[in-house]
Amino acid sequence: MGTSYIYKRDASRLFIALRENGKRYKIYLPMESAPVINGTEQDINFVEQDDFYYAFDWKDKRFHCELVSHDQNKAVIKVNGVEYKYSLESIFSYIRRGMINNDENKIDANNILAPMPGKIVDIFLSDGDLVNEGEPILTLEAMKMQNEITATCNGVIRKIRIQKGQSVMKDELLVEIQSIDV
Amino acid sequence: MKQKLLIVNRGEIAIRIIRSAHKLEMSALVFQSDKEPDALYLQYADEIIPAKDGGNDKSIFLDIPRIIQLALEHKVNLIHPGYGFLSENPEFAALCAENGINFIGPSAALIKEMGLKTVAKSMAVKAGLPLVPGSDGPVTNAKAAREFAEKIGFPIILKASAGGGGRGMRIVENPESIERNFKSASDEALAAFGNGDMFIEKYLQNPKHIEFQILGDKHGNVIHLGERECSLQRKHQKIIEEAPSASLTTEKRNEMGDMAIRFAKSIGYFSVGTIEFIMNEDGSYYFMEMNTRIQVEHPVTEMITGVDLIDWQIRVALDQHLTLRQDDIKINGWAIECRVNTEDPQNRFSPQTGFIDKIHFPQNSYTRIETGVVSGSVVTPYFDSMIAKIIVHGKDRGDAIEKTLAALYEFSLIGLKTTVPFCRIVLQHPEFVNAKYTTRWVDQVFTPEMLENEDDEMIGALAATIMYASEYLQLSSDLPTYKHDSLNVWVLNKRLNY
């Protein structure tokens, strides 16, 4: 598991902030590194915090953020004196509400099928984990060769269909992934 | 015994006047209104006169008999009215004089004359100042209206002579539509005011507001200190002012300045005063009115001339001779003032009241801050929404714009919305940068969406998410399957590193 992956498994730290104008921010808050916004780690410094107030430094500028109002998952934030309204969702509720990739054909496109018959020798992730595009999910042994099977998108593991040690057939469904790339 | 100067005002201008009073070794007195008993200006005064509101709800700053009574009780020598309130009230000036108190301003008679617009205009005409071309008296029929309009040129504006509030008012672009418009406006005026008479005036489509600062003593000396451009207005109130104006050449400045002096001398004016002109796109200009007080935007003039206007305003009130000559007045660089009003530019500049949790002003050698508030101050609904002014000096206009913008980005106020984000947008707009902006900029160009930008939007999304996440993760932590750690690890790390 390379540390260079931006999403670090814990999907409960991934949120969607939506504005009324349709603009959507996919915000991942890792434990110990800078926030990932729409798939890019941003060099944002958190410089001050108070009740309902945060200040950030970014691009050599100071950003003063005040929470103006807050109702359930709606929040109005005043940034440098101008108000912006957002509605916020965890990635789980966002997916549950079908707001991401609700095209059925597309959903299947990111599922992992066995490329060849073989045996599952290792599984690195669990249901509900966040996975990065190109990140290994499991090892499939076929004809004495170990093949790392990687995710084809950034996403949330919906369901791992197989168990360690299990033999699988070609094209058998191994892992269901919900893409978070839009 | 020090002279006692009573300031019949509040907020930033009270503090500004106290500064001058101290410089002139006077003792500064202020009223403590119970509408804002903890106001900042009180801290600067030498003596505070408590002024509880009586049975009536009249503010002390407008209560002439009580002001005079309290001033006499406290043996006040001079009264400075500031701007607004009683600063242009001739009765107040007259009562001060009658009671032996030196009113810092021109005479009651001058205040009265300049306050009556028709009187001021006829005095201006006598001194050779141009007025917006218009009918001298009412025009009673459509044919006469057309003839007159063709004489002065289109577009013109028809105004009900008995009118007000926009009723019976029409802007007419061409001769074809004047008779129809005259009839409908006249009918409207007749219905609304019982009088269908109309005035006709030339309509300036994209006017600029240019005003000249003058300073005169009681011995006939008058100088001008150049102009200010105050075209950036909302609801007919100025919000950004600059000096000098990019719309004047040196020749025109001298011409208009001479005119301002000539007018002031012709009416025997003394004290500080401002002569306002409206300027057309083609550079033609017309006298609008004269203000007989110190103006909100006086600091831009002070910044480019180095002359302390309030010091002089007090000194000439003390009969001192003006020692400055016109040749002494040199314009040095450029100055811009942005008014910090607690208003919501995203919502038609509606006033905001409440606590100022935190306020931070830029601090550097070229920025002057005039403020009536500090962190923790309250903005009440009883007074003006202007809480502070940020005035910046640059070596030229471009430099001044750049520095002002930086100052506005450094400013922050937590708790209420202000006009500062609006000013930031104006200073970056091509029409301001190219000095093409007019008094109609807010109505014609500005939309609240202009206040938004992608960086702020993204950081706002981050802030909203962190606030939401800290709740969400806390809730989730109750579930045994979630390993809860504070979200703030990143926060802490970043703060330590900072």
Q: How high is the pLDDT of residue A3? A: 54
Same domain assignment for residues B197 and B231: no
pLDDT in tens, A60-88: 999 999 999 998 899 999 999 999 999 99
Cα–Cα distance for residue pair B48/A134, rounded to 1 Å = 73
Q: How far is CA B8 from the centre of its chain?
A: 18
Q: What is the dihedral of CA A172, A174, A176, A182, to 10 degrees?
A: -90
Q: Is B16 a catalytic residue?
A: no
CA distances from B59 to A16, B63, B74, B89, B105 (A): 51, 6, 19, 15, 22
Mean predicted confidence (pLDDT) in A82-107? 79
Q: How high is the pLDDT of residue B402? A: 98
What is the total count of domains within chain B?
Answer: 4
- B479 and chain A: CB distance < 8 Å anywhere? no
Q: Which amino acid is at A26?
A: K
Any domain includes B118: no
Residues 6+ away with beta carbon under 8 Å from B136: none
Q: Which of B293, B315, B339, B424 is catalytic?
A: B293
Same domain assignment for residues B285 and B380: yes
Cα–Cα distance for residue pair B412/B435, rounded to 1 Å = 27
Any domain includes B110: no
A19, A29, A47 ranked by CB distance to B487: nearest: A29
Same domain assignment for residues B357 and B219: yes
Tokens, residue A75: 């929040």
CA geometry: angle B433, B436, B442, nearest 5 deg = 90
Mean predicted confidence (pLDDT) in A126-155? 94
Same domain assignment for residues B185 and B264: no
Same domain assignment for residues B395 and B427: yes
Asked if residue A150 has pLDDT above 60, the reply is yes
Q: How high is the pLDDT of residue B318? A: 98
Cα–Cα distance for residue pair B14/B28, rounded to 1 Å = 9
CA distances from B442 to A79, B207, B235, B237, B432 (A): 22, 13, 9, 11, 12
Say if CB B303 and CB B396 are below 8 A apart: no
pLDDT in tens, chain B (498 residues): 899 999 999 999 999 999 999 999 999 999 999 899 999 999 999 999 999 866 567 789 999 999 999 999 999 999 999 999 999 999 999 999 999 999 999 999 999 999 998 899 999 999 999 999 988 888 888 899 999 999 999 999 998 887 666 778 899 999 999 999 999 999 988 888 888 888 899 999 899 999 999 999 999 999 999 999 999 999 889 999 999 999 999 999 999 999 999 999 999 999 999 999 999 999 999 999 999 999 999 999 999 999 999 999 999 999 999 999 999 999 999 999 999 999 999 999 999 999 999 999 999 999 999 999 999 999 999 999 999 999 999 999 999 999 999 999 999 999 999 999 999 999 999 999 999 999 999 999 999 999 999 999 999 999 999 989 887 776 555 443 333 344 444 554 444 444
Average pLDDT along chain A = 89
Same domain assignment for residues B304 and B215: yes
Any domain includes B480: yes
pTM: 0.90
Q: How high is the pLDDT of residue A138? A: 96
Any domain includes B306: yes
To test the contact with chain A by mutation, choose from B457, B459, B475, B476 the residue with the greatest count of A C-beta atoms within 10 A, namely B459
Q: How high is the pLDDT of residue B481? A: 33
Q: How high is the pLDDT of residue B470? A: 82
Any domain includes B90: yes
Same domain assignment for residues B255 and B337: yes
pLDDT in tens, B433-486: 999 999 999 999 999 999 999 999 999 999 999 989 887 776 555 443 333 344
CA geometry: angle A68, A70, A73, nearest 5 deg = 140
Same domain assignment for residues B253 and B150: no
Same domain assignment for residues B273 and B365: yes
Same domain assignment for residues B19 and B77: yes
Min Cα distance B434 → chain A (Å) is 26
Cα–Cα distance for residue pair B225/B327, rounded to 1 Å = 10
Question: Would the CB atoms of A82 and B421 count as touching at under 8 Å?
Answer: yes
Q: How high is the pLDDT of residue B485? A: 43
pLDDT in tens, B302-315: 999 999 999 999 99
Give the CATH number for residue B181: 3.30.1490.20
Same domain assignment for residues B392 and B308: yes
Question: Would the CB atoms of A79 and B413 count as touching at under 8 Å?
Answer: no
Terminal Cα distance for chain B, rounded: 55
Query: Which residue, B145, B167, B202, sits at the end of a domain?
Result: B202
Length of chain A: 182
Name chain A contacts of B420, Cβ cutoff 8 Å: 81
Domain hosting residue B40, numbered range: 4-104
Question: Would the CB atoms of B490 and A56 count as touching at under 8 Å?
Answer: no
Q: Which residue, among A100, A104, A126, has the nearest Cα to A180 in the 3D structure?
A: A100
Name chain B contacts of A79, Cβ cutoff 8 Å: 456-457, 459-460, 463
Cα–Cα distance for residue pair B365/B287, rounded to 1 Å = 36
Cα–Cα distance for residue pair A50/A58, rounded to 1 Å = 19
Give the CATH number for residue B290: 3.30.470.20
Asked if residue A106 has pLDDT above 80, the reply is no
Q: Which residue, among B84, B66, B71, B41, has the nearest Cα to B383 in the 3D structure?
A: B84
Any domain includes B80: yes
Question: Would the CB atoms of B490 and A29 count as touching at under 8 Å?
Answer: yes
Q: How high is the pLDDT of residue B344? A: 97
Same domain assignment for residues B32 and B152: no
- B489 and chain A: CB distance < 8 Å anywhere? yes
